[in-house]
Chains A and B, each alone.
Chain A
């Protein structure tokens, strides 16, 4: 065992690995991981095969294949028009990255320095914290508040504006938005964007904004509103999209970063130093498929509409199924994205003691599953998720894995269910939970 290895980053792999391992071991239905259940569309696959056979197999420009950057300019310019009143410059305002993860990495690592803060809302996508640590920045969160809906049947997520305002200051370097939000699905309203804009101008005018908009096309009953094209925000905003999410090819890892030239250039330098190039035939295939996204698909107006409608229905059906499972869940209002949160706190009495007490919770005393250890108290959502997987045969994620861990203070009510699945998976869920 080599001794002097630095532990720079918290090992976040365990967040996923415990539940993925449990899921495999107990042959459970995996609704934990955010893997879309629809495959890439035929036109994309055709374009990929063509791109490879045509010879697009060696390095391309560091900033991304020119054909893709042109196509991205064409595709995204309309939505940025209110901000810049012209088309996006494919040479200076677009960067192609190894998925949105890599775009986030390039943007954050460049922007934050020792002691500078990134502010985001909690719960959050766990990699935000790792990336901030990598950039030697300070990670700070504002927990979202919940309140019952008018009819009391569900919970809404809300911004805690007072705490947000108090947290802003000269130390704030980046405000990181996820829109629609993972894991709550909350979509930014125009008024909320305006409020954030005002607060930033007042309390942290030096701060940049990174908007992680990978689920932009997956809004349910809400419109997608952009941060970058309100007021003067363009100058200080980096917007990130995902080709993998848009076209259900998450494993191809092609993401897009759109920002003014100075911010894009800096991200490109990070990219050049750490990545250099990526999936060239994939870039070309996506470039040629962006146009086709506007054409009718499987009876829907467009491919994104097909995906959105499928997931919207799955979301509604899944929530129904969970609500009728005999377990006392309270649903939350999910406005977009891949996931829905459910409050499972009323189910405590259903969970056997072995899951609620620290230590090995499986019957298998020699388990190889890497169980996250809790010293004093097992958070309720972890206990629930573990029990639910082993005893009920469905794997979901504990909501507190998306929060900063402080064992005694943890908000541990919520479980996260992936709803980015087709009808067939919904059916399986129904079958399993009706037993």
Chain B
């Protein structure tokens, strides 16, 4: 199995991307709109289901495809959305979160360094690590805000970047970090462009699919035309049911594509959180169909909660004395804002050096993206220390050295709950 290629031995050390701001939150007790952790606890019906699964004795290994009962339930639930009977034996993989599915799929698709993965920038940083882990060459295509104050994919860049070495493209809708929801027309445009490159697989990270604002529908790329045969769609139990730490995610794809991913999954984790898989699968119907609170299902309830926080953030930024310009989101967990006008407001020290804490004994590892510190990173550090709000710099969501790299944007999460969101926006007045 050895080819002519050179293997990528290491992945970039980006442990501190999450750790720097995560640690600041705890150390200085700062309201955080940084990390994408939902403020909800998993609903009681889910917790009870987990306890039941454990007490029933589902505590040992299961199939590398995932627990058979869980797969049956998922196939039943998702078949209507895909417009076909999903085969639970062969067309579903349950792995260690959506993350685990992505790792398995990329690992099985990428054969050598000459294989290219296209990422849409800005992207969830994990895609980059996973692509490196898989040993691929990474290319990027940007989303850019337009006059309508919404993000749009640069289709010309997509056409220029696709070539015979492209193995797959990773799409994400609703999008992290921008909150963009791709319309059916937009997905169709991308689909049409991809027709000229029929060898390219499409991986759709749809983990936020259930969180779209009114008037913005989620569409499954695999259901357009005959995309099914080349598309892998990934979902997250952790996101739907607010149990991100349980790490239960699933991929739905044709049997031949999934088979290779399962071989990979078998090799890397073998299987994962068996009682968790069952509890999640057994609880999805309830989350989707039964009343949880105030006449709403659990999914509707969390959706409305997040939308309220989104409105607080959007309005708060528009009314803030600081020139932070929000760009409309249509769903998901996050919104981006343009901070280019803060260059003269943020004190020099945040641009001149990486260390900004007053604590000489600090153990918090600081990210190093060179000097001067990029504007967005400087802004986030200043906002954290002096305005007492944690946000994430957009730089983290671009490939180092990317020609689309920009330091204009920061990301704010609206999954954090009204209390924290209001407190944060107070501090930004």
> Hey, which bits of chain A sit against chain B, CB under 8 A?
1-2, 4-13, 33-36, 39-40, 45, 48-49, 52-53, 55-62, 98-99, 101-102, 105, 109-110, 113-115, 127, 130-131, 133-136, 138, 248-253, 265-266, 268-270, 272-282
Chain B residues within 8 Å of A101, by CB? 268-270
Q: Assuming the A-B contacts A2-B230, A9-B1, A268-B15, are A113 and B96 also in contact, with contact meaning beta carbons closer than 8 angstroms in the complex? A: no
B133 x A57 contact (CB < 8 A): no
- Whether B57 pairs with A39 at a CB distance below 8 angstroms is yes
Q: Is the CB of B64 within 8 A of A253?
A: no
Do B270 and A253 touch (CB < 8 A)? yes
A253:B14 contact, CB within 8 angstroms:
no
Query: What 1/0 mask marks residues of chain B from 272 to 284 whose CB sits below 8 Å from any chain A CB?
Result: 1111100000000
B107-140 vs A, Cβ < 8 Å mask (1 yes, 0 no): 1111100000000000000100110110100000
Are A57 and B9 in touch, CB under 8 angstroms? no
Compute how far the CA of A278 lies from the CA of B19 in the bound complex, rounded to whole angstroms.
17
Can you show 5 pairs from A to B with CB atoms below 8 A apart?
A: A4-B199, A8-B260, A134-B107, A252-B273, A278-B96
Majority SS of interface residues in chain A? loop
Q: Knowing A110-B9, A251-B271 touch, does A272 contact B256 (C-beta < 8 A)?
A: no
Q: A5-B256, A136-B2 are in contact. Are A277 and B245 (CB under 8 A)?
A: yes
Q: Does B392 contact A (CB under 8 A)?
A: no
Collect the chain B residues with CB atoms within 8 Å of residue A52's CB.
42, 47, 50-51
Residues of B within 8 A of A281 (CB): 245-246
Query: In the complex, which residues of chain B have a beta carbon less than 8 angstroms from the beta carbon of A274?
Result: 99-100, 103, 107, 129-130, 133, 268
Q: Is the CB of B60 within 8 A of A251?
A: yes
B369 at the interface (CB under 8 A from A): no
Q: Are A253 and B2 touching (Cβ within 8 A)?
A: no
Which positions in B face A, CB cutoff 8 Å? 1-2, 6-7, 9-11, 13-15, 18-19, 35, 37-38, 41-42, 47, 50-51, 54-55, 57-62, 64, 96-97, 99-100, 103, 107-111, 126, 129-130, 132-133, 135, 199, 201, 229-230, 242-247, 254, 256-257, 259-260, 262-264, 266-276
Q: Smallest Cβ distance from B71 to chain A, in angstroms? A: 15
**3 shortest interchain CB distances as A-B pairs:** A280-B245, A251-B274, A273-B129
Given contacts A48-B54, A252-B59, A273 and B11 within 8 Å (CB-CB): yes
Taking the closest CB of chain A, its distance from the CB of B306, in whole angstroms, is 15
For A268, what are the chain B residues with a Cβ–Cβ distance below 8 Å? 15
Q: In the bound complex, how far is the Cα of B264 from the Cα of A105, in angstroms?
A: 11
Q: Would A249 and B59 count as touching, CB distance under 8 A?
A: yes
Q: What's the Cα separation between A265 and B11 when bound, in Å?
A: 12
* Bound CA–CA A339/B270 (angstroms): 19
Residues of A within 8 A of B272 (CB): 98-99, 253, 278-279
What residue of chain B has the Cβ atom nearest to residue A35's Cβ?
B60
Contact yes or no, B100 A114, CB < 8 A: no
A-B contact number at CB 8 A: 211
Indicate if the CB atoms of B267 and A131 lie closer than 8 Å.
yes
**For the complex, what is the distance from the CA of A39 to the CA of B62, rounded to whole Å?**
14
- Check B245 against A56 for contact (C-beta < 8 Å): yes
The reply to whether B111 and A9 form a contact with Cβ atoms under 8 Å apart is no
A101-B270, A275-B103 are known contacts. Are A13 and B246 too (CB-CB below 8 A)? no
A424 shortest CB reach to chain B, Å: 14
Does the CB pair B270–A13 fall under 8 Å?
no
Whether B18 pairs with A57 at a CB distance below 8 angstroms is: no
Find out whether the CB atom of B247 lies under 8 angstroms from the CB atom of A115.
no
Q: Are A59 and B108 in contact (CB under 8 A)?
A: no
Structural contact, A2 and B15, CB atoms closer than 8 A: no
Contacts of B62 in A (CB 8 A): 251
Q: Check B42–A57 contact: CB distance below 8 A.
A: yes
Smallest CB-CB separation from A98: which chain B residue?
A: B269
Asked if B267 contacts A134 (CB within 8 A), the reply is: yes
CA distance A352 to B153 in the complex (A): 66
CB-contact partner of A251 in B59, B201, B242, B264, under 8 A: B59
Smallest beta-carbon distance A102→chain B, Å: 5
Most A CB within 10 A of own CB, among B51, B129, B229, B267:
B267
Q: Say how far A281's CB is from chain B's closest CB, in angstroms.
A: 7
B275/A252 in contact, CB under 8 A: yes
Nearest CB in chain A to that of B115: its residue: A6
Which residues from chain B contact A7 at a C-beta distance below 8 Å?
A: 260
Q: A251-B61, A272-B129 are in contact. Are A2 and B262 (CB under 8 A)?
A: no
Residue contact A114 to B13, C-beta cutoff 8 Å: no
B257 contacts A105, C-beta separation under 8 Å: no
In the docked arrangement, what's the CA distance between A20 and B259, Å? 18
Q: Chain A residues near B270: list those with CB within 8 A.
A: 99, 101-102, 127, 253
Closest to B245 in A: A280
CB-defined contacts of B242 to chain A, threshold 8 Å: 57-58
- The reply to whether B229 and A2 contact each other, CB–CB distance below 8 Å, is yes
Chain B residues near A275: list those with CB within 8 A.
96, 99-100, 103, 269
Interface contact A266-B6, CB-CB below 8 Å: no
